[in-house]
Amino acid sequence: MGARREQVTGIVLKDGAVLAVFGLGLGTLVALGLSRLMSGLVWGVTVTDLSTYGAVCALLGATAMAASWIPARRASRTDLGRDLECRVRVGSPIPPGAPLPDRRRVLF
Please name the residues in contact with 42: beta carbons below 8 A apart, sequence gap of 6 or more.
none
Computed over every residue of the chain, the mean pLDDT equals 78
The predicted-structure confidence for 42-95, as pLDDT tens digits, reads as follows: 777 677 778 888 999 999 999 999 999 988 888 887 776 666 665 555 555 666
- Give me the pLDDT at residue 24, please: 95
- Give me the pLDDT at residue 17, please: 93
pTM of the model: 0.62
- Nearest 5°: CA angle at 37, between 33 and 42? 110
- The answer on pLDDT for 26 being more than 80 is yes
CA 86, chain centre distance (Å): 24
- Tallying the residues shown for the chain, one arrives at 108
Greatest Cα-to-Cα distance within the chain, rounded to the nearest angstrom: 72
